[in-house]
Each structure stands twice: as structure tokens, then as C-alpha cells.
Amino acid sequence: MYISFIGEGTMKFLVQKHQDKAIKEVVMIILTFFNIVCSTRANHVFTSAQRHILNCVSTIIHQHFTTDHTILLSVPSAEVVVAQPSIEISSFEADNEDLVELSLRSINEKCLWSLQISRPGVKMFENDLQVSDGRHNYIIYTWTDEEIGDVLTNVISEVEEMKTKALLNPHERFLVVILGTGNQSPSQAALSVLKELWSNYMILDVLILVCDITCQKFDSYEFPVTSTGGNKLLLYTWFPYHQSGEEVILLNTWDMKKHGNLFRDLDLFPNKIPNKINSRPLRVTTLDLEPFVELEETYTNENNEKMYKFKGPEIELLYVIMEHLNISLYYLPPPSNDMKYTDQLIVSIERVALGEADIAIGSLPLLLEAVSYVDFTTSYFITGDRWYVPCPRPLPRLKRIAGIFHETTWSMMVIVYLLVVIVTWGSAKLVSRKESYRYRSISRCFLNICSVFLGVPVPVLPRSSLTRSCFFSFVCYSLAMSTVFQTFLTSILVDPGLSDQIRSFDEILHSGIEFGYVKDSHLYYFPSGSELYGDEEVEKHGQNCSDYKECLSRVIIKGDYATLRSEIYADYFVAKTMPKRVKPLCSLDSRFKNYLVNIYVQKDNPLLNSFNKIISQALESGFADKAISDFNVVWRYGTPNNATGFDIEDTEDMYFVFAIEHLTPAFYILIFGYASSFVIFVGELVYWLGVGKLQNIILYHRKG
């Protein structure tokens, strides 16, 4: 490019140097002619068509590009002598690159935007990369490839270069300026670029600027003849989620008369995601993993394809999202249940990352390792893994009764009892004449003192003062001890108390009980370098327990096991197997690991914001919680009574609640005693009335 400028100071210097009038006139003529030639040369480089393109680009930038976003300008590849850390590109080959340079200068002179340049084959300096904050507005200049003859080759190379340099943000605005369409019509060239950016890079907000001309040559002084009979620049875009589908839309035109202007005053970057979306069915990959997602049925459609139907609270939420956006679903075959959970999780995320599926769902936790390959929605459920331990059980009543008094107290009671027996018997011996024979016998004295201790009346009270004082002292002692004993006894019969619950992971390690978890997920629970407490102990002593039903059953039924499980599956297991049991499963107070459940979508999917908006509304309205609660009710009450045989509380004889019916045996014994006494009385009466009278008659006859 050749642009020259002769300053006014230079002309005065030359004029003052030549004072001669004739020479002065000659010099002035020469200088004036030289400026005219240079100016003509500059006007020859940039035709009116080119200037209108620059004006149109400048208008779009000022009206639709925000100043807080960096403008990233991309140009096709060319042989470059050296990469300069500035906005000037060297070694341009032709008029197209002259136009790009002038566009750069125009943007830079406004000083409103930060400016970066991307070009295939040109390395960026570190300071250029540090300036980027990920917020860009993009201008892509492109023209036809000399060998292939279309614009896609250059566009692909430019976008791939931005992607490689981590400068590509598909959610921002893109202006693609096509300076030559080759053998394609403007609409065909625009459609091919739109499809390429959409299908391979998920770029939706694109505006195509292209000349509506039959002869795209910029080295002519005159306007070329347009294909529509006018001099225009065409602005194309498309709306793939509207009824128009993947059809190119002429959004606006630039009239190339005089200074030029846009034909219509409208937004060139309108919202392209409507409330009701018109698109193909979304491909969904999910895990057939109860309880949140379960395979309900399979069937064959009219095309003889195997179709899948799932159910679960997450599926209900997904249906709400799709119904709101007017999108249908197509379920892909789920990963095999023979695979490990971690492998199923990886397969589902890989399907989305590779473009085989649009979304993945099924109690999928947010994994930081997957963020680089896929995007994720707002989390709609927060859960985690807990250590589930045996619940506190009622203590044996006999053990609790024996524990009313300390061992030393029981020993002292026995010693006191024996001493009282000896002292009472000894005092009765000293005054043998006055004391009853019931206290002078050691065996009968033992029984009398035992009666006092048990609160039973004795047949005869002591007579001597010494024996009475000893007897009365023991009565007071027995009354005090029995009162305390009976008070605690009544409480223990009603509620014997519970054993101590394990409340920390340290207590699990020191309790001596066995514990297990899914060993395939050890690195998930204890990441490398995490140095979490218990890492070595768990890996060394922990058992592999992959079947959560078996592990949780052992925790509940046997009470000699602890397991690390997800809250979701623990609640589901209890609801399905023992719905009538009251809190049969206990856990440590805090979660061992928290995780967020969300939906994974393809990277840079433009529908992500729509998904998040609906999920946020579902969370605020309580729909998400209600969906989970409703399924919990279905799980609990949809299970037959005692379907598994575990839905019965522990009814061992030593664990009962003290009630009136427990006194029934005492009344039975009393009635039996009364009946026995009556029978004996009748027998004695019969004996004395019958046998006794007969014996008297026999004795009378013998004497006679």
C-alpha cells in the first residue's frame, strides 16, 4: 500500500530555500502535482465498494459491539515475515488485505475497544494472551480460497486457530465479512458459513456481510452491477430454532448510495432462542440406575427401531423442561448394568462430549474433570455419601437392672444381709427364754430377714429389745434400698435405654465392627494427594461392598457393620424394603462427601441458559422437591406389606414396653393358687367328714 503525505512545514522550507520567484513557482507546481498524484493513488487503492464495506462494518461495531468486550479480528492465512506485537499486519498480498488493514486502523483510532488479531500461522505474544479475558466480539474477514474456490476453507482455518489459542467463545457475537464468494451466490456462501459455524462450533449469534454483486472485483472506479439490479451489501443470518429452521435469512441491507446506510433500523443480533423451540428431538443418554432413573419399558416404533421409556423424579423434571421449550426426546440405549457405576458415568459423559448425545441425565454428580469437555446445568439436587452405622438398640433389661447399683453396692448389700442374720440369731440366743424359736434357729432367722428385705411380713416379731433394735434397723435399711431399686426398676421396664451410637469416623475405626464401601471408587472418595483422615485405614481394612442392598441390610438387621453409601440409595432402600419401620437406618452427623446433581449438555450448547432458567424456576416454585417427595411416597406405599420380611420391628422377649397385660400371668398364678387352696380345703373337709368318722367307728368297736 502506498500512501504519501507532504506536510505544510516541508513546503514552506522548500519555498524559503528558493527565493527566486520563477524557481518558487516551479517548485510550488511540482509539489502540488506530487500531492495530487499521491492522493489519486490512495483513492485508486480503495474503491467505493470497499469504502462502503468499511463504513458498514464500522456502523455495526458502533451499534452492536459493547466497549467492555475486546474485538478479536481474524484474517486468513498468508506468508508472514515476522509476527509483530501490534495491530499492523505486514506482507499483505492484495486489495483484500489492504481493506483489512484500513479496518484495523479505523477501529484502533476510535480507542473504544481493546483489539486483538488472530491469523493462522502467526504466534501470539504472551502479553496478547494475558490481555484476553474471554469476553470478545469477533470480526472474521474471509475470502475464497484460490485452490478450492469457496470461503469455508479460510473460515475453518481461522476459527480453528482461535480455538487452538483458547480465544473462541461461541456465546458471543460474530461478524463474518466475506470479500469474495467465488462461484457461489451470496446466499449460498452465507448458508455454508452459518452451517459450518453451527454444526462444528455451536456458534449461533452470527451475522454475515457479503456483497450482492455478479463481478466481485475491487480495482474498478465504477460500482459493479448487482445481481438484484442495485448496489447493496447483504446482511444474512439464520434462526435454526425458529420455524424457518436452517434457512438463510436476509436480515438487512446496506445501500451503497452516497455515504451509505442500513436499509432498516433493527437489531442485527436478535435473540435466536425463542420460548418455543423448533428443532429435532434431543438425544438423551441416561443411566438405568434406580431410584432416580428407572427403565420403565421398551418398544419398537414404526421404523422398527427399539425405543426406551424411563421414569423417575429426574425424568419428570426433564419432561417439564422439554415441554416448556417444545422439544421432543429420543433416548439412546443406556450403558450396560454389568458395568461399574464409574464406567457408566464416564460413558454417559463421553457420549455428550463426542456429540453422540445432546444431554446426559441420571443422578450425575458434578465432576470438575468433565468441565473442560462438557457443560452442565444448574444443580437441582444436593446430596452426598454418608457412613451408615448400626442404630442404637435397647439395652437388655436384665443388664440394666443389674446396673441399678454398682458392683460394690451389691456386694455390701449381701454382706449387710449376712451380718444382720448372724447378729439377729446371736441376740436371740442370748435371751433364748424370752425370744421366739423362729429367731433362735439360724435357718428360720435367715428366712425372716429375707422376708424383711423383700418387703414381706414375718409371722412373728422379735420379743427381746436387743433383737428388735437389730430387726428395726434392717427394716429401715431395706426400705431405703428397695425404694431406690423399685424406682429405677419401673423406669427400666418402661424404657431400658439405648446403646451408644457411633458418631464419628474415628469411632468406626476403633469400634471393632467391620465396614465396607465400593473400592472401585476409592480415588473418588480419597483423591490422590488429598491426605484425608482414614485413607490408609479404609483402604487396608475396608471391605468391598458393591451391592448397596446387601450392605444396608446387614447394617440394619445384624447391626455389626458400617458402610459408605449415597443418601439417595439409602432412603430408597428403606422406603422399598421396610416402609413401616421407624428410622431403621442411622448415619454419622455430617456427610463424608457432598455432590451436586445436574444435567450434562454439549459444550457451548446455546440452550443451556434456557435449561438453567427453567430449572431455577422449578427450584423456586418447589417443583423439584415435590417431584422427589412424590416418588418417595410411591416407593414407600407402593411396596406390599412386609414384602421383604424385614418390615417387622425387633420383638425379642427381653425388649418390651411395660403395660397392664404384662401383669396377666401374676393374676393367673393367683387364681391358680386360690383354686388349689379350695381343692385342698375340700379334700380335707371330705377327709375329716368321711375317713375321720369311719376311723372313730372302728376305734369304738375295738374298745367295745
Per-residue pLDDT tens for 332-363?
999 988 888 888 899 999 999 999 999 999 88
More confident residue, 345 or 699: 345
Cut 0.75: pTM above it: no
Residue 123: pLDDT band (50, 70, 90) is: confident
Q: What letters, b where the CB count within 10 A reaches 16 and e where it falls short, cover 296-306?
A: eeeeeeeeeee
Signed CA dihedral, 199, 201, 203, 209: sign only: negative
User: In whole numbers, what is the pLDDT of the chain averaged over residues?
Assistant: 79
| Cα distance between residue 29 and residue 19, in whole Å | 15
Q: Which amino acid is at 541?
A: H
Which residue's entry shows cell 425458529? 242
Closest CA to 68 of 136, 165, 153, 154: 136
Residue 448 has what pLDDT? 87
Contact by Cβ (8 Å): 353, 601: no
Average pLDDT (286-297) is: 85
Measure the N-to-C terminal CA separation of the chain; round to a whole number of Å.
Answer: 173
| Helix ranges, 75-175 (H) | 95-110, 126-131, 152-164
Residue 661 has what pLDDT? 64
| Cα distance between residue 555 and residue 514, in whole Å | 10
Most confident of 506-510, 664-668, 698-702: 506-510
Nearby residues of 361 by Cβ (< 8 Å), 6 or more positions away: 284, 285, 286, 293, 314, 315, 318, 599, 600
Instruction: Check pLDDT > 70 for residue 224.
Output: no
Residue 320 has what pLDDT? 92
Contact by Cβ (8 Å): 173, 269: yes
Average pLDDT (653-662) is: 56
Summarised one tens digit per residue, pLDDT across range 558-592 is 888 999 988 888 888 888 887 777 778 888 888 88
Residue 221: pLDDT band (50, 70, 90) is: very low
Query: Count of CB atoms within 10 A of residue 224's CB?
Result: 18
More confident residue, 131 or 241: 241
Residue 158, CB-side half-sphere exposure with 13 Å CA sphere? 29
Residue 681: pLDDT band (50, 70, 90) is: confident
| Helix ranges, 441-547 (H) | 442-454, 465-494, 505-511, 522-525, 535-541
Average pLDDT (619-641) is: 77
Closest CA to 362 of 372, 354, 371, 351: 351
Report residue 159 as a C-alpha cell.
Answer: 476459527
The percent of residues in the chain predicted with pLDDT above 70, rounded, is 79
**Burial classification of residue 467, based on how many CB atoms lie within 10 Å of its CB (0-12 exposed, 13-18 middle, 19 or more buried):** buried
Residue 41 has what pLDDT? 42
Nearby residues of 39 by Cβ (< 8 Å), 6 or more positions away: none
Output Rg (C-alpha) for the chain, integer angstroms: 49
Report residue 704 as a C-alpha cell.
Answer: 367295745
Checking DSSP bridges between strand 374-376 and strand 329-331, what pairing results, if any?
Answer: unpaired
Summarised one tens digit per residue, pLDDT across range 171-214 is 999 999 998 887 788 899 999 999 999 989 999 999 999 987 54
